[in-house]
Structure 1
Amino acid sequence: MTALPSAAPDASGPDAGGPAATDSAPPGPWLLGVRHHGPGSARAVRAALEAARPRAVLIEGPPEADGLLALAADPDMRPPVALLANVVDDPRRASFWPMAEFSPEWVALRWALDAGVEVRFIDLPAAHSLAAAEELPENEPEAEEGAPDERPALRIDPIGVLAETAGYDDPEAWWEDVVEHRDGTPGADPYGPFTVLGEAMTALREAYGDGGHARDLIREAHMRQQLRAARREFGDGVAVVCGAWHVPALAEKTTVAADRALLKGLPKVKAELTWVPWTHRRLARHSGYGAGIDSPGWYGHLFGAPDRPVERWMTKVAGLLREEDRQVSSAHVIEAVRLAGTLAAMRGRPLPGLTETTDAVRAVMCEGSDVPLALVQDRLVVGDVLGEVPDAAPAVPLQRDLTRAQRSLRLKPEALERELELDLRKETDAARSRLLHRLSLLGIGWGERSASRGSTGTFRESWRLRWEPELSVRVAEAGVWGTTVLAAATARAESEAVEATVLGEITALAERCLLAELSDALPVVMRALADRAALDTDVAHLAQALPALARTLRYGDVRGTETAALGEVATGLAERICVGLPPACTGLDADGATEMRRRIDDVHTAMALLPEAPEGPTTLRDRWASVLTRLAGRDTVAGEIRGRAVRLLLDDGRLDDTEVERHMGLALSVGTPPGEAAAWIEGFVGGASGGGMLLVHDERLLALVDTWLTGVPADAFTDVLPLLRRTFSAYEPGVRRTLGELVRRGPGTTGPAPADAGAPGFGAGLDEERAAAVEPLLRLLLGASTHGPGALPEPSGHPASDHLAGVGK
């Protein structure tokens, strides 16, 4: 056990109050060095506190949160949770202090609250730690007299160094063997682990220095100051729970003046703190949290299991695999436990660790496959546990409004991703859709739109929901826009409309406003849209903006929103596109033609959604068809665009088969360069437009393509091959196979197929010997004999006709 030298007279005494320490407890203060989120450390902390019975408990954490500590005893507080600190004027600058049920800090906090003793946080205040890192002074302590001139400035992993020293190549395995798997034998010294860790960290800091991080020195100076203050108030009956690396620094003999010098002139910001839910997944190291662990689910199991942790773990794994319809029996569990114990013995480990249990599960329950093992890793080793915070915890008004909406709509935040299907004709589902769209506009990505399953109608929406702890920060950031979700989303939309410079951005914003039903924001967005549309002369920008407007009008119909003004803007854009598109399609290179072809596809779809004006000799769709006709017949337009124009006219019934054949014949004539002809084919039958089925059902067009392709010169064939492969590789395998059969047979060149030609992919004639071999099996399947009712007819000499006749009966 590491003890501090006395810095003040002992204020404790028989009348000082508070729980009494046991007679075997060493003199305080008690420095309990831990590993963050270590269940072994948590058990050791609890045992040491029970033995020492300190009058005050000091924990590594932001002191501004002292007023929130009592909430840890609230029945509605369920870890994992985290303290969230953010800058008041800039909520994006935030920090978290996560705690799980097996975190030593959480165990110390709950013990102090249950015991009724003083509990405080003593780390550097969040007001300083949230200040910009580059503003922190690079304070380096002056070398003491007699100290070496150079101190190593190497940032190390203490656990890794100790594990390597002990002969382990895996720091996690060493920590499990030394700390996590301590059996807690009755009568064992509760201070032993902290004494050993304190001595080890002292040796490491003597060998490697302070680790080369100036902020650690500042934090430790502040913790020493807080410890001195606590000892003046409570005497030596003080326990400190902090990272093991800091123990030597807290035990170090330093002067008050030296610590004050380190803390002088620190930058400071105004910070606010609260409790927020956390997840096991965010405790995992791969999530980016610096003090994370690889296996929070496993550590939670070790902390919560009263006995036989390996057996209980294997039972959990078996239950999970059974839920996934895998055959796992009790015998599998028994064998997996035995194998894990054998592996631990062979590897010289005191108890099976996560490595041994994982190897045993893979071999016994997963039959050597890593696929079900990945499920175990995701669901159990890491886990999807989401903590809960009581309503009494401080929160920004926007968070409170969001919480009320979630409860009203029965949308509980969950760590596990889930699918949500919404029917917008139902009031509750429509309200859920509005909430998710408003949050998306605010940058709070709780839900993500996905393709709807089983329905493509506008009344259906599909969402993937998953609540991440970082979203609490996003809510705090969005709080600057308003105190309710509706008000904040409206203000954000209005601001984006004013600041948007690209027409497409405003049209997309208008669509999002309509989906979120932000009726107050729509007038501002519409004015910005009309102003930007009047000034923008780029046809590509207009073509990019129109589809969003058309979709917005459609969604307006679904939700019953007034969209007359939006329809006028959309019609105006469509008119300008019809005028400016033909010149814009002239002189484009291959990439520009491909991009413009996509724009034309989008505009064509949008035109079908726009309302028709009641007056005028021609409709908007007629004018659009006229534009496509001009593009199809203009030689200066790229082949890909001309081919697409012909295809769109054909699909709309504006061109008959003869006209299409004429256009294709001209495009694939001998005088057309092969590359230009290939581009025309790409525009006509490429992409996901059903061009393959068009060629299957119209063998005249297929014959034109086949004739052109066979006539391409050898030196030009290599140039057009990549484009053709891209075109035809997008077809379904069945379509490609049928086209191959038609080409092999010679479509359109030999007239109708002969009667004995057979279907594509089958032989031309009938194999009577193979057909006859089926007859006994067919009789057995039909349960028919050769006599009586239901009997198959007598053989007529033609096996195939006999079989078909029998099936017909």
Structure 2
Amino acid sequence: MPAVFLGVRHHSPACARLVADTVRRLRPAYVLVEGPADLNGRLDELALGHDLPIAVFGHYRDAERTATTWAPLCDHSPEWVALQEGRAAGAEVLFVDLPSWHPAFALRANRYADAEARYAEATARLCERFGTGSVDALWDGLFEVAPPEGLAERLDAYFDLVRGDAEADEGDRAREAYMADWVRAVLAEAGTATVLVVTGGFHTPALRTLAARPAEAPGRPALPAPPPGAVCGSFLVPYSFRQLDAFAGYQSGMPSPAYYQWLWEDGPEAAADHLRRSVVARLRRRRHPVSTADLVAAAALTGGLAALRGHPVPSRTDVLDGLVGALVKDDLTQPLPWSERAPLAPGSHPVVVEMVAAGSGTRTGRLHPDTPAPPLVHDAAARLAAIGATGTRPLTCDLTTEDGLTASRTLHRLRVLGVPGRHRTAGPAHGADPVTTERWEAGPEAGRDAALIEAGAYGATLDEAAATVLAERARTTGSADAGLAALLFDTVLCGATALTDRLLTTLTATVARHPDPGALGAVLATALGLWRHDRVYGTARSPLLAAVLEGAVSRILWLVEGAHGRSGADPARLAALAAVREALRHAPEQLTATPADTAALALRITRDPHAPADLRGAAHGLHLTLATTATPTAAALNAAGDPRTPAGPRAAGAPSPLDLPTAALNAAGDPRSLGDWLGGLFALAREEVTADSGDGSLLAVLDSVLAELTDAEFLIALPALRQAFAWFPPRERERIARRLIERRGLRGSGRGLLRTTADPLHLAAARALEENVTALLDRHGLRSTR
């Protein structure tokens, strides 16, 4: 007897009912289901009595690739119903798809994501023909709220149309060939017995064709073997309606899964009522007014829309559109997400946000206690019990003790694995941070079990799994990635000693070609702090850290000397130069660059009229801090590219007795670059340039320069000036304000001068507007005389 094929949509209640009715009617001897064939020997795990939704989590890891996939199952998943009803009918139930680690799944995270984009054109034509805005609304009208008579025939016609002549990708072709091998083999075994095949509707037309061809080899197809050295496997994990929701980005999910759960349990009319009441309850809990009149209007709109769209009972979109029409009184600036099957856009109306949340639901699955779990789950439980982190009390770790360091490493390993439950509220923030204690607070544990099971893909113990994840981060962090410093510090915090050495070796090679001085500066600051100060984690004076220092300093200096162009102040680049300064101060013996060489390089940058203004200011500050005497150079004359500054012998290279205040005076030649130049200077030599408080100090000259700017020039310079002075901590800014008051012979509080009733930029812009209006009135003789 030929196989009976049922093409279904994943997580569709209508398809789930069809599967249940078909199994009860046909009583097949075999039920073949789209699912990972490597789980066939463990299907009893699915019958333990879980609270759905759950998912089959598959993982794969080798030296080149790490992949994870999920096959979600809920009460109304046709695959789940096929498993349960098939077992109840006495059939042999088998998964017949490739295992999750197979290369066919290399580009997808979800087994049931059938790449609907390939038949989007066909569904778009259907949507236009039936006057619906999305494929979900089309589906509901054709199948979920339609009468059940003729459902199988309608599904066949629908999937034949949407598949059409579309060519499946290489991965789906491999999957369909493997599933067809299973169908042919089981048909040969079944003789005259019935074989039911339940797969995604996209695959059904191809499977019918492929299964009719002669078998290439007798017997059931073998399970593909993973490559040598690869680690792979499958486990059951808890899942949630939120993860199933298409509005949250799940490609093959049904949007509003709570609605479809109600539809599965109570039918379409009750589901519409549940959805309406759930939306209203959420809005009222958030104190959004929903009156009885609003509910009457919403019910009337819903009924009218259902009738207009030809639905025998209101569908999900009928209910949602009716509620929007009655409850949203403002203009909508974003399309409704159910009108185009899109995630919520930023700025969505609050009522729409609550409607999407109500349809999504809050249900989270739970595995039966007897469900097998990867070794990591048991190792993590034992480690947490050993350090006393199983309750809700905060945990304090003294990093100077062996027990405290062990507890810290355990919790950091869970953190890098993404396992919820504990979060750090205090502790060292970087390698130079002198803090030696950490405080970890207990937090929500929702999703903890699933996260631990999924993390089990990386290793059997916490230290092994964390080291694998960190190694993966090291492998995938590109040379232009700014996360190198965080990766280095995380590796140290987790105590991954062997990985630390490998990572430092990798970093040494990476920094030699890194294009971003800002990211290099973060790596340099972290490595320098660990090299100088770390006695807790055992990395102080590490030769590998010294190699990172040398490579980062050389690369940063090479990059900044070649930087050209006009740009605003770049705080990351300035911080990188500050890190170079600190390395020259505290680890000069580890560096090829000497303070004298670096001072000479800084001098060249200050003279380069094409270098960014902030970089020229920073180079001036770097030269100032490294020079044996505080004698600035003629390069300061060109600090901001002042076209009024004549070229001469001093600009050619010889040092000059020109002082720093004069450099600032020349920087004011272009108000657009003055603030950027000062920002660079303050970032590198804040203490040096503010130490003198006399009339010839930088502060005094800057005060005079700013006083001479026109209002228009001051407005141009103001944003960058504010950014420049942000390099000063609040106490130093207060001291500067007090000195400015004293220069004017006034009395008052520096702190009060820093506090304004409005943003200074707004005040300055308001003053400029008033002056422009006054000038316009004067031009036309309209201003009254005083």
TM-score normalised by the shorter chain: which range applies?
Answer: 0.5 to 0.7
On the 8 A contact 2:7/2:198 being kept in 1, the answer is: yes
Matched with 1:240 is: 197
The whole-number CA distance in structure 2 between the counterparts of 1:318 and 1:705 is 62
Q: Percent identity between the aligned chains?
A: 22
Contact 1:92 1:477 (8 Å CA) reproduced: no
2:321 corresponds to which residue?
359
Contact 1:221 1:262 in 2 (8 A): no
- Aligned match of 2:140: 176
Question: What are the equivalent positions in structure 2 for 1:478-497 lying under 5 Å apart?
Answer: 478-479=458-459, 483-489=460-466
SS in 2 for 1:511: helix
Question: Which residue is 2:783 aligned to?
Answer: none
Q: How far has the Cα of 1:76 moved from its partner?
A: 3.7
Q: Deviations over 1:536-555 (max 9, x none)?
A: 9x999996654214554799
Task: Identify if the C-alpha distance between structure 1 residues 399 and 223 changes in structure 2 by more than 3 Å, giving closer, same or farther.
Answer: same
8 Å Cα contact 2:7/2:159 also seen in 1: no
| Contact 2:79–2:198 under 8 Å retained in 1 | yes
With over 3 angstroms needed to count, the CA separation of the structure-2 counterparts of 1:314 and 1:156, relative to structure 1, is closer
Distance 1:97 1:602 in 2: 48
**CA distance in 2: counterparts of 1:448 and 1:684, whole angstroms:** 45
The Cα offsets for residues 163-186 of structure 1, whole Å up to 9 and x where unpaired, read as 555554533223212321247xxx
Is 2:211 the partner of 1:231? no
List per-residue Cα deviations over 1:263-298 (Å, max 9, x = no partner). Answer: 999994437443334443443446665533333343
SS in 1 for 2:35: coil
- Deviation at 1:380? 3.2
Q: 1:132 to 1:635 in 2, by over 3 A?
A: closer
Asked whether the equivalents of residues 19 and 82 of structure 2 are also in contact (C-alpha less than 8 Å), the reply is: yes
CA distance in 2, matches of 1:580, 1:130: 39
Q: Structure 1 198/326 Cα, relative in aligned 2: closer, same or farther at 3 Å? A: same
Output the TM-score relative to the length of structure 1. 0.60
Residues 1:61 and 2:41 aligned together? no
Is 1:99 aligned to residue 66 of structure 2?
Answer: no
Quote the RMSD (CA, aligned, Å).
6.7
Structure 1 equivalent of residue 177 of structure 2:
218
CA distance in 1, matches of 2:241, 2:448: 11
Question: Which SS does the other structure have where 2:216 is aligned?
Answer: helix
Deviation, 1:314, is 2.0
For the residues of structure 2 that align with 1:761 and 1:424, how far apart are their CA atoms?
43
Name the SS of the counterpart of 1:84 in structure 2. Answer: strand
The equivalent residue for 1:619 is none
- Amino acid in the other structure paired with 2:198: V
Assess if the C-alpha contact under 8 Å between 1:30 and 1:239 holds in 2.
yes
* Amino acid aligned to 1:198: D
Distance 1:120 1:434, change over 3 A: same
Q: Does structure 2 retain, via aligned residues, the 8 Å contact 1:159–1:171?
A: yes
What does 1:552-567 align with in structure 2 at a 5 Å threshold? 552=530, 561-562=537-538, 565=541
Residue number in structure 1 paired with 2:409: 434
Give the match's secondary structure for 1:340: helix
Find the partner of 1:44 among 13, 18, 35: 18
**Does 2:713 match 1:752?**
no
Code of the aligned partner of 2:574: R
* Counterpart among 664, 667, 682 of residue 668 in structure 1: 664
Q: Which amino acid aligns with 1:40?
A: A
1:653-678 deviation digits (Å, cap 9, x = unpaired): xx99xxxxx95522234699658866
Does 1:299 find its partner at 2:255? no
Please tell me whether residue 597 in structure 1 is matched to residue 584 in structure 2.
Answer: no
Task: Give TM-score scaled by structure 2 length.
Answer: 0.62
**Equivalent residues of 2:6, 2:152 under 8 A apart:** yes
Q: 1:583 to 1:603 in 2, by over 3 A?
A: closer
Task: Label 1:80 to 1:330 Cα distance change in 2 as closer, same or farther (>3 A).
Answer: farther
Equivalent residue number for residue 195 of structure 1: 153
Q: 1:102 deviation in Å?
A: 1.6
Cα distance in 1, alignment partners of residues 675 and 720 from structure 2: 11
Please give the secondary structure, in 2, of the residue aligned with 1:705.
helix
Corresponding residue of 1:26: none
- For 1:707, the aligned partner's letter is S
Change over 3 Å in CA distance of 1:253–1:410 after alignment to 2: same
What letter matches 1:123 in structure 2? Answer: V
- Measured in 1, the distance between the counterparts of 2:92 and 2:374 equals 26
Q: Distance in 2 between matches of 1:529 and 1:118?
A: 57
Which 10-residue stretch deviates more, 389-398 or 456-465?
456-465
Cα distance in 2 for partners of 1:340, 1:421 equals: 51
Residues 564, 211 of structure 1: alpha-carbon distance in 2 compared, 3 angstrom cutoff: closer
Deviations 1:56-78 (A, max 9, x none): 43323333322222222212453
Q: Is the 8 A contact 1:632 1:643 kept in 2?
A: no
Give the letter for the 2:9 counterpart. R
**2:96 equivalent among 116, 123, 131:** 123
* In 2: Cα distance, 1:281 partner to 1:606 partner: 49
Contact 1:445–1:471 (CA<8 Å) still a contact in 2? Answer: yes
| Alpha-carbon distance in structure 2 between the residues aligned to 1:449 and 1:697 | 54
Larger Rg over CA atoms: 1
**Is the CA contact 2:53–2:365 (under 8 Å) kept in the aligned structure 1?**
yes
C-alpha distance in 1 between matches for 2:92 and 2:149 = 20
**Using the alignment, how far apart are the partners of 1:126 and 1:676 within structure 2?**
61
Q: CA deviation at 1:127?
A: 8.5
Instruction: Verify: 1:726 aligned to 2:720, yes or no.
Output: yes
Report the residue type matching 2:21 in the other structure: A
Deviation, structure 1 residue 121: 2.8
Contact 1:86 1:273 in 2 (8 A): no
Note the C-alpha offset of 1:484.
1.1
* Partner residue in 1 for 2:342: none
Which of 241, 251, 260 aligns to 2:216? It is 260
**Aligned with 2:66: secondary structure?**
coil
1:310 alignment partner, one of 241, 249, 272: 272
Aligned to 1:770: none
CA deviation digits over 1:495-534, x for unaligned, max 9? 9999999999997665333322346766787899999999
Aligned residue for 1:36, secondary structure, equals coil
Q: Separation in 2 of the partners of 1:282 and 1:505?
A: 28
List aligned pairs for 1:399-798, cutoff 5 A.
Answer: 401-402=379-380, 424=397, 434-435=409-410, 437-438=412-413, 444-446=417-419, 458=435, 459=438, 475=455, 478-479=458-459, 483-489=460-466, 511-518=489-496, 545-549=523-527, 551-552=529-530, 561-562=537-538, 565=541, 597-602=574-579, 640=614, 664-669=660-665, 674=670, 679-684=676-681, 704-709=701-706, 725-728=719-722, 751-752=745-746
Q: Is the 8 A contact 1:164 1:171 kept in 2?
A: no
Alpha-carbon separation, structure 2, partners of 1:454 and 1:486: 21
1:618-650 Cα shifts (integer Å, max 9, x gaps) = xxxxx999x999989997698756856998999
Residue 64 and residue 461 in structure 1: after superposition, are their counterparts in 2 closer, same or farther (change >3 A)? closer
Q: 1:630 to 1:123 in 2, by over 3 A?
A: closer
Tell me the secondary structure at the aligned position of residue 96 of structure 2.
Answer: coil
Any conservation in 2 of the 1:337–1:360 contact (CA below 8 Å)?
yes
Q: Distance in 2 between matches of 1:62 and 1:583?
A: 53
Aligned CA distance change for structure 1 residues 586 and 224 (closer, same or farther; 3 Å): closer
**Deviating more after overlay: 32-41 vs 264-273:** 264-273
Supply the distance in 2 between the matched residues of 1:335 and 1:411 (Cα, whole angstroms): 53
Partner in structure 2 of residue 324 of structure 1: 286
Residues 582 and 607 (structure 1), Cα distance of their counterparts in 2 relative to 1, 3 Å cut: closer
Measured in 1, the distance between the counterparts of 2:694 and 2:34 equals 75
Q: Deviations over 1:569-626 (max 9, x none)?
A: 9899999999999999989757899676322434678999x89x9xxxxxxxxx999x
**Which amino acid in the other structure matches residue 401 of structure 1?**
D
Residues of 1 paired with 2:187 and 2:155: CA distance?
A: 23
Q: CA deviation at 1:225?
A: 0.9
The whole-number CA distance in structure 2 between the counterparts of 1:171 and 1:645 is 60
